[in-house]
Structure 1
Amino acid sequence: MTKVGIIGGGLGGLTSAMLLAHKGFDVHVFEKNDHLGGKMMRMTLENAQFDFGPNTITMPDVFQRILQKTGVNPDDYLQFIKLETHTRNYFSDGTTFDLSTNKEEMINLLSQFEGEPAKEQYAKYLREIERLYRLSDRYFLHRTFTSWRDYLSPDLTKALLQVKPLQTLDSFHRTFFTNENLVQMLNRYATYIGSSPYIAPATFAMIAYLELMDGVYYVKGGNPTIAEALAKRSKELGVHLHLGVEVTKLEVSNKEVHAIELSNGDQIKVDEVIMNGDLLSVYPSLVAPEHRPSFSEKKIQRFEPSISAFVLLVALSKRFDSFIHHQVYFSSSYKEEFEQLFNKKQYPTDPTIYICNSSYTDKSVSPDGDNLFILVNAPTSSTPLDLEQYKQVIYKKLKRYGVDLVPHIKAEMIIDPTWIQTTFHAYQGSLYGPASNKMKDAFLRPANKARDLSNLYFVGGSTHPGGGSPMVTLSGENIANVLISKYS
């Protein structure tokens, strides 16, 4: 029986584990933390439960399909709740906009910002973002890059030229809308991949398709239920799940990984290895430089890390009427905010604030009051910060919007980029691996297979097809398919 060692129990690793075990592989998952799911983890303060990312779920069919591939009914494991009106956006001029999958509601709201042309412009916008998504789904998302030759496919090249790789996301949105608030609201999709809308390619407008047409979802019981469902199915299929044990070294000879060394001193012989961790930090920590000449320290330093996050988990003693499931309080100058983040490597002086209040949809996760996951974009962990002082910046800004949290706080916790770096071995605390600010990093993300080692594969947000729960799940499926084909 072919033995596969999987380093890291995030969504990508769990997906590979589940699909490979279903096909008869002997699969072992090694996770340094005491939970599975990576950044998709549960956290609790008082009796309020929080999801530490991701808070926004799209593409539920991805998770349902991989469960179904193992011979079960996905509805027995996951119940997705669609949020029709999903995100309330607050702008510095006092206006608001509720994003929705209801087309008529969207047109009515857009007309208040754009006037009579709104209906026609929105129809054109939806057609274009759907086109971008369909091209990506057909030619890019399900393709596995295990060799540089995979990038030379004529159909891939043709598709890349059709997805506006040379236009920025900001420029793209300005071809449809003139209102600055609307452009700012739509430009925020760049942050879903940890990048800047003023640099990232227009291709990523396809994320808007997922939210505005396909839908935004919440999983009953909390979004980490997805990870728990994959872990449960993996266990049912015989996957060996090793929690609280860290892989410390990969034993290599003749350009092949022969064994995995663990923090408890054990050495596990393996035939194949899948690394589900941040490629920029985990790979170099486990494999000596002489065994990875194609991935040198110099090459690693050429990658620009994506943005990180400053997070507040806040359990309240009351519920605010103004909150829905998702809300965003925008900065007065988005361009200045990203200038500070990427060019000056500073915390924004006027940050855009995202808040998830999952108890709006599911009271069971916080029966006594709102459970607020508050996030602002942050530079990487190399930037020092007074945590308490910056927390007050956020609370004061929310108070200016009429949301005075402080008198109603029962418990709170601060999470900064250093915590993210330590907890998840995330490169400089980045959330999404390399940023997608350069065309190379957007379309030619690190391949899913080590160039120098014949049996080492990569899954997760730092490799192809990119960050976000559905994408990392697809990476796990893609590599499982490669190994299944290899041994069939």
Structure 2
Amino acid sequence: MKKAVVVGAGLGGLSAAITLASKGWDVTVAEKNSHSGGKLMPVMLGSYQFDFGPNTITMPQVFEQVFRHARKKMEDFLEMVKLEQHTVNYFPDGTRFFLSSDKEAMKRQLKDLDPKGHKNYGRFLEEISRLYRLSEAHFFPRMFKSVMDYASPSLSYAFMRVRPLETMDHFFRKYFGNEQVIQAFNRYATYIGSSPYQSPATFAMIAYLELVQGVYYVKGGNTKIAESFYKIAQEMGVQFIMNTKVQELQVSNKRINTVLLENGQELTADEVILNADLLKAFPELVAESDRPHFTDKKRNGYAPSISAFVITAGAEGKFDQLGHHNVFFSNDYRSEFDELFKRQAYSSDPTIYISNSAYTDPSQAPDGSNLFILVNAPPLTEDGRLQVSPQSYKAIIYKKLEDHGLSLTGRIREERIFTPLDIQDTFGAYRGALYGISANKKWDAFMRPSNFPADIQNLSFAGGSTHPGGGSPMVTISGMNVAEEIARRSK
């Protein structure tokens, strides 16, 4: 029986483990934390429950595919609730703009708010659908094993049809005229940790996921996805070593011969899958002499994505103005991204996202509201410093919410702050970046590090810093893709 070791029990590692186990492999997963799912981490504060992330679930068919590998039905494990009107966007002048997968509901709003957008909305949906279909056919299932893969004629043809040289902001302005509407759509760039004024229009396909396929929530918390994967993986015979960090991947003759754990345990395997932040884990676990094609200098050349400043706040009572997903926008979105990416500084006027999942699922906060408050943050400095005082920045966030009419004064019963330092330490994220590599540079947006390193024959990568990219569906796809390829080449 072939043996595999998976380093990391994130969604990519879990989907890889389940896929290989379904093909008869003996799989062991080593995870440094006590929970599975990586950033899909449950946070409990008193009676308040939070999903650390992701709060927005799209592409349920991807997760369903993992269950099919295990010969299980997703509905036996998860209750996916579709949120028709899923996000409320608030602007400083009091305007509200609701995002929905109901086409007619969107057009009714746009009729008064954005006549140009109302006229173009059908064409806009057609174009983002086209971008998604091309990506689904040519990019999601593809793994890049050598430079020659990038030269594929079919890939080149598809690449030039997904607007790689246009920015997301420029793309949205073709269809919409109202600055607030454009701002709401530009926020999709943050889903890949990037700026709408730099990242390619290709990623406007994210709008397709929310406005056509729809946004979902898992009853009982989105973390149920990871918990279910963990459960069925165990049922399939996958062994988990939790609360144990991998110390080193020892290489001999261009193959990993030993996976050394910090407790001194040694694991051997035919194949090793690294489901961890590639920019941090690969250099830490493999000696530089064994990875000449991925030196520390090359790693340092990648621009990390944005990070996050998060407050989990358990509040008394309900907030009538809040929906499930809520965004309170800044006065000047472009300046906000200039601060984040050009100055590597915290915005003085941040856009604030709030997930209030108790709006849909009261069991998450029986005593009130579970407010997951997130503000985009720059990654840590190159020498690992945090550029802000957490308590001072929390005060700025609460003051801005109060200016929007959302006062939390006297209502918070439980509270915890997570900074990019916490994200780095908890999830092994390079400089605390949430999505690995930024998509602001055209090359980095499409030519992410290969799933299969050039220097080590039995090592592969799954997760957000390799193909097909960040986000819970993409990392799940990466795990399945890698496992399928490993199984093929091992026959």
Q: TM-score range by the shorter chain?
A: over 0.9
Query: What is the aligned partner in structure 1 of residue 11 from structure 2?
Result: 11
Amino acid in structure 1 at the alignment position of 2:92: S
Shift of 1:477: 0.6
User: Residues 326-382 of structure 1: CA distance to partner in whole angstroms, max 9, x if unpaired?
Assistant: 000000000000000000011000000000000000011111100000000001122
Q: 1: CA distance between counterparts of 2:482 and 2:387? A: 38
Q: Pick from 407, 411, 414: which aligns with 2:410? A: 407
User: Residues 140-166 of structure 1: CA distance to partner in whole angstroms, max 9, x if unpaired?
Assistant: 001112222221211111000000000
User: Residues 176-221 of structure 1: CA distance to partner in whole angstroms, max 9, x if unpaired?
Assistant: 1111101110000000000000000000000000000000000011
Query: What is the aligned partner in structure 2 of residue 368 from structure 1?
Result: 367
Q: Does 1:91 align with 2:91?
A: yes
Query: What is the aligned partner in structure 2 of residue 175 from structure 1?
Result: 174
Q: 2: CA distance between counterparts of 1:275 and 1:65? A: 21
Q: 2: CA distance between counterparts of 1:69 and 1:264? A: 32
Q: Pick from 461, 477, 480: which aligns with 1:477? A: 480
Q: 2: CA distance between counterparts of 1:118 and 1:194? A: 26
What RMSD, in angstroms, separates the aligned Cα atoms of the two structures? 0.8
User: Residues 298-346 of structure 1: CA distance to partner in whole angstroms, max 9, x if unpaired?
Assistant: 1011100000000000001111111110000000000000000000011
Q: 2: CA distance between counterparts of 1:10 and 1:61? A: 18
Query: What is the aligned partner in structure 2 of residue 29 from structure 1?
Result: 29
User: Residues 226-276 of structure 1: CA distance to partner in whole angstroms, max 9, x if unpaired?
Assistant: 001111110010000110011000111101101100010011111110000
Q: 2: CA distance between counterparts of 1:36 and 1:201? A: 32
Shift of 1:485: 0.9
Q: 1: CA distance between counterparts of 2:444 and 2:113? A: 35
Query: What is the aligned partner in structure 2 of residue 264 from structure 1?
Result: 263
Query: What is the aligned partner in structure 2 of residue 378 from structure 1?
Result: 377
Query: What is the aligned partner in structure 1 of residue 148 from structure 2?
Result: 149
Amino acid in structure 2 at the alignment position of 1:295: F
Extract unaligned runs of 5+ from structure 1: none
User: Residues 106-158 of structure 1: CA distance to partner in whole angstroms, max 9, x if unpaired?
Assistant: 0010111122x443300111000000000000000011122222212111110
Q: Does 1:296 align with 2:299?
A: no
Amino acid in structure 1 at the alignment position of 2:52: F
Shift of 1:407: 1.2
Amino acid in structure 2 at the alignment position of 1:5: V
Query: What is the aligned partner in structure 2 of residue 222 from structure 1?
Result: 221
Q: Pick from 390, 398, 403: which aligns with 2:401? A: 398
Amino acid in structure 1 at the alignment position of 2:209: L
Query: What is the aligned partner in structure 2 of residue 359 from structure 1?
Result: 358
Q: 1: CA distance between counterparts of 2:291 and 2:179? A: 47
Query: What is the aligned partner in structure 1 of residue 185 from structure 2?
Result: 186
Q: Pick from 444, 455, 458: which aligns with 1:455? A: 458
Q: Does 1:285 align with 2:284?
A: yes
Extract unaligned runs of 5+ from structure 2: none
Q: 2: CA distance between counterparts of 1:316 and 1:102? A: 31
Q: 1: CA distance between counterparts of 2:375 and 2:333? A: 13
Query: What is the aligned partner in structure 1 of residue 424 from structure 2?
Result: 421
Length, aligned pairs only: 487
Q: Does 1:131 align with 2:135?
A: no
Query: What is the aligned partner in structure 1 of residue 103 from structure 2?
Result: 103
Q: 1: CA distance between counterparts of 2:281 and 2:85? A: 39
Q: Aligned with 1:20: secondary structure?
A: helix
Shift of 1:487: 2.5
Query: What is the aligned partner in structure 2 of residue 436 from structure 1?
Result: 439
Q: Aligned with 1:44: secondary structure?
A: strand
* TM-score, scaled relative to structure 2: 0.98
Q: 2: CA distance between counterparts of 1:166 and 1:93? A: 34
Q: 2: CA distance between counterparts of 1:179 and 1:119? A: 11
Amino acid in structure 2 at the alignment position of 1:198: Y
Q: Aligned with 1:407: secondary structure?
A: coil
Q: Aligned with 1:14: secondary structure?
A: helix
Q: 1: CA distance between counterparts of 2:167 and 2:254? A: 40
Query: What is the aligned partner in structure 1 of residue 58 from structure 2?
Result: 58
Query: What is the aligned partner in structure 2 of residue 388 from structure 1?
Result: 391
Q: Aligned with 1:312: secondary structure?
A: strand
Amino acid in structure 2 at the alignment position of 1:20: L
